């Protein structure tokens, strides 16, 4: 079998597993979902599942991590720049990330906020670190990357949990002002 055919098959299998998890999350809590549930829904055998993932936690972890990275990439158009517009888009990517997960995992959203936040902060830190390499020394960049990533995540989490009435636009503007990019 050619490499291209194998890659297509692998991609389709993984997508089927991802979709099966999303469908099952609409029906039951994550804790109640079994590998058997996933394999039956995806119409694959257990060995195929385990060829891709160690367990359902690794599956969820990969979905959440990839989602954060892809949304940051989409919102910033793949451009890494420490500018007002780019930072606004970074905040909007974080909002979309939480909203997508909340929509797909209504039953489980509150339970997975710590995991969501962890993966989002890591993706934000990676992006910010790249954007700030030419601007700050290593020590300053380490500090600022950590602060800015956590600030974005915390603001988005508060708004998504409806603990503030500020709009996404207003929150993004405030964050940019705090970062002194206005």
Can you tell me which residue has the tokens 């936040």? Answer: 117
Question: Of the candidates 34, 53, 72, which is a domain's last residue?
Answer: 53
What CATH number should be reported for the domain holding residue 40? 1.10.10.60
pLDDT in tens, the chain (182 residues): 555 555 667 778 999 999 999 899 888 888 899 999 999 999 999 999 999 999 999 999 999 899 999 999 999 999 999 999 999 999 999 999 999 888 888 888 888 888 889 999 999 999 999 999 999 999 999 999 999 999 999 999 999 888 889 999 999 999 999 998 75
> What sign for the dihedral angle of Cα 10, 62, 169, 174?
negative
Residue 123 to residue 111: CA distance in whole angstroms:
20
Are 19 and 72 in the same domain? no
Are 92 and 159 in the same domain? yes
Q: How far apart are the first and last CA of the chain?
A: 55
Residue 153 to residue 136: CA distance in whole angstroms:
22
Please tell me the total count of domains within the chain. Answer: 2
**Token pair recorded at residue 5:** 């055919």
Are 43 and 62 in the same domain? no
Are 65 and 153 in the same domain? yes
Question: Of the candidates 53, 72, 90, which is a domain's last residue?
Answer: 53
33: left (phi over 0), alpha (psi -120 to 50) or beta: beta
Phi, psi of 15 (to 5 degrees): -60, -40
Are 9 and 85 in the same domain? no
The answer to whether residues 109 and 140 touch, using CB atoms and an 8 Å cutoff, is no
Return the pLDDT at 89.
96
Are 60 and 46 in the same domain? no
Are 129 and 66 in the same domain? yes
The answer to whether residues 46 and 39 touch, using CB atoms and an 8 Å cutoff, is yes
Residue 121 to residue 151: CA distance in whole angstroms:
9
Residue 159 to residue 71: CA distance in whole angstroms:
18
Domain extent for 75: 55-179
Are 96 and 166 in the same domain? yes
Indicate the helix (H) or strand (E) that contains 32: none
Secondary structure of residue 29 in the 3-state scheme? coil
Return the pLDDT at 182.
59
Are 27 and 110 in the same domain? no
- How far lies 145's CA from each of 35, 130, 152, in Å? 37, 10, 11
Question: Of the candidates 30, 53, 76, which is a domain's last residue?
Answer: 53
Are 119 and 155 in the same domain? yes
Are 82 and 105 in the same domain? yes
Return the pLDDT at 6.
57
Are 119 and 163 in the same domain? yes
């Amino acid at each position: 079998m050619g490499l291209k055919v194998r890659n297509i098959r692998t991609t389709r299998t993984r997508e089927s597993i991802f979709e099966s998890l999303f469908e099952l999350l609409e029906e039951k809590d994550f804790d109640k979902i079994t590998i058997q549930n996933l394999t039956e829904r995806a119409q694959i055998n257990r060995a195929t599942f385990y060829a891709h993932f160690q367990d359902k936690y690794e599956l969820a972890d990969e979905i959440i991590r990839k989602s954060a990275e892809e949304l940051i990439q989409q919102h910033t158009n793949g451009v890494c720049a420490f500018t007002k517009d780019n930072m606004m888009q970074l905040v909007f990517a974080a909002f979309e990330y939480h909203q997508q997960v909340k929509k797909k995992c209504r039953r489980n959203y509150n339970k997975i906020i710590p995991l969501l936040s962890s993966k989002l902060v890591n993706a934000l830190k990676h992006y910010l670190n790249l954007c700030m390499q030419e601007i700050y020394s290593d020590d300053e960049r380490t500090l600022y990357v950590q602060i800015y990533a956590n600030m974005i995540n915390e603001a988005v989490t508060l708004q998504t949990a409806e603990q503030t009435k500020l709009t996404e636009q207003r929150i993004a503007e405030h964050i940019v002002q705090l970062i002194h990019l206005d």
